[in-house]
Amino acid sequence: MMARARLAAALIPATAILSCLRTESWDPCVQVVPNISYQCMELNLYKIPDNIPISTKMLDLSFNYLRHLGSHNFSSFPELQVLDLSRCEIKIIEDDTFQGLNHLSTLILTGNPIQSLAWGAFSGLSSLQKLVAVETNLVSLNDFPIGHLKNLRELNVAHNFIHSFKLPEYFSNLPNLEHLDLSNNKIQNIYYEDVKVLHQMPLLNLSLDLSLNPLDFIEPGTFKEIKLNGLTLRSNFNSSHVMKTCIQGLAGLKTNRLVLGEFKNERKLQRFDRSFLEGLCNLTIEQFRIAYLDKFSGDDTDLFNCLANVSVISLLSISLGSLQALLKDFRWQHLEIINCDFDKFPALKLSSLKKFVFTDNKDISTFTEFQLPSLQYLDLKRNHLSFKGCCSHTDFGTTNLKHLDLSFNDVITLGSNFMGLEQLEHLDFQHSTLKQINAFSAFLSLRNLRYLDISYTNIRIVFHGIFTGLVSLQTLKMAGNSFQNNLLPDIFTELTNLTVLDLSKCQLEQVAQTAFHSLSSLQVLNMSHNKLLSLDTFLYEPLHSLRILDCSFNRIMASKEQELQNLPRSLTWLNLTQNAFACVCEHQSFLQWVKDQRQLLVGAEQMMCAEPLDMEDMPVLSFRNATCQLSKTIISVSVVTVLLVSVVGVLVYKFYFHLMLLAGCKKYGRGESIYDAFVIYSSQDEDWVRNELVKNLEEGVPPFQLCLHYRDFIPGVAIAANIIQEGFHKSRKVIVVVSQHFIQSRWCIFEYEIAQTWQFLSSRAGIIFIVLQKLEKSLLRQQVELYRLLSRNTYLEWEDSVLGRHVFWRRLRKALLAGKPQSPEGTADAETNPQEATTST
């Protein structure tokens, strides 16, 4: 027991050491794009792998142990464009580490506890545009040696320990810098001196993110006359007073986009004094966004007066009451209100507003009319709203509307024929409940409409004139609805410009023969998840532009032979998977058509038989036409009419090579075999035959002479003649190397069938089967005779292991020695060198 304990104690640390010594050959990098992109994540690497091509452009080495990066560490990859070194426990980066990476545009160093960063660490990165140094223990921008990266566009140093906002003078050498992320650092105060470089050389396209810094003070005048593309301040302030003071400190700033507020999971303020927005009167803002402010003290009167001249307003998760106090003379052009809390629907009156997005809001159930005369884009989805008498220009106070989204709401009752909304181009009702759509031609006035989605709107289409007037419609989605008698009628007569039609999940059992006659421009048709029983190709014949047809998840059994020619020639993608195909001789022509149209059919391998029972869940492609036998009645009638042609033709064609083999047996029957075995195999398995079979049999002890087509066939002689005369007639045995490639090769099957005839005529047990790889039964059953033969006879299985190879070669040699004439010299060699014979395996 003590000895075992000591042995275990010695093995445990040894095992731990070996587990760490994982070389690149054991756990190779994942080749995402050959010679271009490689992923080497979490491979416990201590150095850069040597087996990565020099042409690599994208390399992910994240989550390894590259603790020390030395000079010219990546010089072997001059084409590199993206390098990810996230969380590699890097502590030291020496001078010229990235030297030679002239094409590198993105460098990611996230999550590395860097202790020593040389001043020349980033030298040579002349094309670098994005540098991510999140969580790298950075304490000051002054210590960050990036002043020479003139093409740098994005610098992310978030989640570090930077206490000062002072921008180093080298920022004047970064004229292309567009985004600086300093979020989640330790910055508390911002002074005029900190942004002096911005006053001296303005970076007009710079967007600055200071979120999650504990700001207490911004010196007044610091940002005066400074122009920024964007400024983000979220979850920065511990009180409303500090927030108000800091916003006042931004006076004089000109920015294209200002974002204020908090994050959903980073709330610091419980209530907000509405007066904090007053400081915005001293800023010039083009776009304003405020997020996650729960409660405002006081009412919303004059709340946004300082933002009257802003073009874009975005409100995310705000509690505002009703927004009734907005003035008509506000110059807002785009208003976005998402996931906010209102007492009632805001009755807006904004003369300049062109785009209004009002989605995912709470506690509002009834739509209220508003006056927005310039409105062109309206998105009201996911609000659980109800509409009565929808829709007309009086509802929205505009006649200029082009985009209307009312999806994912409650009940919408159509009643006003979209009067005054004739300019609509996009209309979406999906997953809302539509009512009175069958009462009249609801879309009659929408002659400019190009997109209509009424999917899952709980409608049962009865009225055939439902789409009258939609002469410009290009996309129609109506999935998840139903039709009277589960029949698709001719309701698309005026939709001559339609290119996309979705009729999935409509419970369709039948389609009217003229349903698609007017859709000559249709390119995409989705008929999936219905109850169609057959592939009636006559329906799709008028669709001259059709490229994609999806008939999956139906109950299609087959299609008639004469109909298969009617599919549009433009069709390039046909999905028939998940149907109930009948793999019987009655549908033999359709089943053969499936095999011939594999390029057209998507997922042809997943098309399964539903009947008969013996073929249930088997691939349609496995159906063999040879299994179909004509009845005796048909045979007796057919013999009279086609006896001479069929008998003579079949006998000559089918038995020509067998007769040739029989003649050869008589000619060579008494002669001595030149070869020990003739090898039948697929050309795709030639490497195994050359490197394993030939090497071990012809170079082993005793040696065997194999007949191989690439070496022993006579040039200028027909392949079939070579197979019979050189292969079978001059060989004692036949080795058949069975693999997936073998089963799919017509030449291999031909040679195998001739081998069966040869075995029968020569009265020898001469065929040795070698199964090179595990075969799927569905694939093997395509060759019925081969499947039966392997089921009834002993065969050899190749196993690439030490023991498996030893057993394999011993059994194969034994089979080849049976019936082999033994020369005294060969016998003596075999007896005196048994060890040599064994090691050759």
What are 129-145's pLDDT values in tens digits?
Answer: 999 999 999 999 998 99
Q: What is the pLDDT of residues 198-240, one digit of tens each?
A: 888 877 789 999 999 999 999 999 999 999 999 999 999 988 8
Report CA 597 to chain centroid distance, whole Å.
25
Q: What is the 3-state secondary structure (H, E, C) of 112-135?
A: CCCCEECCCCCCCCCCCCEEECCC
Predicted confidence at residue 4, as pLDDT, reads: 45
Confidence check: pLDDT of 439 > 80: no
Q: How confident is the model at residue 779 (pLDDT cuts 50, 70, 90)?
A: low
Confidence check: pLDDT of 661 > 60: no
Predicted confidence at residue 523, as pLDDT, reads: 97
Question: What is d(CA 612, CA 617) in angstroms, rounded to the nearest whole number?
Answer: 10
Predicted confidence at residue 546, as pLDDT, reads: 96
Q: How confident is the model at residue 13 (pLDDT cuts 50, 70, 90)?
A: very low
For residues 759, 765, 767, 772, the Cα torsion angle rounded to the nearest 10 degrees is: 150
Among 574, 587, 571, 591, residue whose Cα is nearest residue 522: 571
Q: Which residue has the higher pLDDT, 712 or 607?
A: 607
Among 134, 35, 123, residue whose Cα is nearest residue 79: 35
Predicted confidence at residue 264, as pLDDT, reads: 84
CATH number of 674-815: 3.40.50.10140
User: Encoding tokens for residue 90?
Assistant: 């890097």
Question: What is d(CA 667, CA 644) in angstroms, rounded to the nearest whole number?
Answer: 31
Predicted confidence at residue 9, as pLDDT, reads: 46
Geometric angle at alpha carbon 34, from 28 and 35, rounded to 5°: 90
Average pLDDT value for residue range 277-290: 91
Average pLDDT over the chain, rounded to whole? 84
Predicted confidence at residue 663, as pLDDT, reads: 52
Predicted confidence at residue 324, as pLDDT, reads: 63
Q: How confident is the model at residue 651 (pLDDT cuts 50, 70, 90)?
A: low
What is the reported pTM? 0.69
Residues 6+ apart with CB under 8 A from 57: 36, 37, 79, 80, 81, 82, 103
Common-topology check for domains 482-629 and 674-815 = no
Average pLDDT value for residue range 582-599: 90
Q: What is the pLDDT of residues 451-502, one digit of tens each?
A: 999 999 999 999 899 999 999 999 999 999 999 999 999 999 999 999 999 9
Q: What string of DSSP letters covers 221-236?
A: TTTTT-EEEEEEEES-
Q: Does domain 482-629 have CATH number 3.80.10.10?
A: yes
Q: What is the pLDDT of residues 375-422, one digit of tens each?
A: 999 999 999 888 888 899 988 889 999 999 999 999 999 988 899 999
Q: How confident is the model at residue 785 (pLDDT cuts 50, 70, 90)?
A: low
Confidence check: pLDDT of 840 > 50: no
The strand pair at 207-209 and 217-218 is best described as unpaired
Predicted confidence at residue 828, as pLDDT, reads: 41
Question: What is d(CA 146, CA 123) in angstroms, rounded to the nearest whole number?
Answer: 9
Confidence check: pLDDT of 654 > 60: no
Residue spans of the domains in the chain: they are 35-137, 167-284, 299-440, 482-629, 674-815
Measured in degrees and rounded to the nearest 5, phi and psi for residue 132 equal -110, 115
Superfamily of domain 299-440: Ribonuclease Inhibitor (3.80.10.10)
Residues 6+ apart with CB under 8 A from 26: none
* Residues 398 and 372: beta-carbon distance below 8 Å: yes
Give the number of other Cβ atoms within 10 Å of residue 777's Cβ.
9
Confidence check: pLDDT of 156 > 80: yes
Burial 679-705 (b: 16+ CB within 10 A, else e): bbbbeebeebbeebbbebbeebbbebe
Q: What is the pLDDT of residues 48-81, one digit of tens each?
A: 998 899 999 999 999 999 999 999 999 999 999 9
Q: What string of DSSP letters covers 370-411?
A: -B-TT--EEE--SS--BEEEE--HHHHT-S---EEE--S-SE
Confidence check: pLDDT of 533 > 50: yes
Predicted confidence at residue 739, as pLDDT, reads: 84
Residues 6+ apart with CB under 8 A from 485: 510
Average pLDDT value for residue range 509-513: 94
Q: Which residues pair with 591 in a beta bridge?
A: none
Average pLDDT value for residue range 524-532: 96
User: Encoding tokens for residue 194?
Assistant: 């900190």
Q: How confident is the model at residue 16 (pLDDT cuts 50, 70, 90)?
A: very low
* Residues 287 and 309: beta-carbon distance below 8 Å: no
User: Encoding tokens for residue 528?
Assistant: 């999936």
Confidence check: pLDDT of 370 > 80: yes
Confidence check: pLDDT of 446 > 80: yes
Confidence check: pLDDT of 10 > 50: no
Q: What is the pLDDT of residues 284-308, one digit of tens each?
A: 999 999 998 876 555 555 678 888 8
Confidence check: pLDDT of 505 > 60: yes
Looking at 2-11, 537-546, 596-605, which range is the least confident one? Answer: 2-11
Predicted confidence at residue 157, as pLDDT, reads: 97
Amino acid present at 68: H
Confidence check: pLDDT of 830 > 60: no
CATH number of 35-137: 3.80.10.10
Strands (E), 114-253: 116-117, 130-132, 154-156, 179-181, 189-190, 207-209, 217-218, 227-234
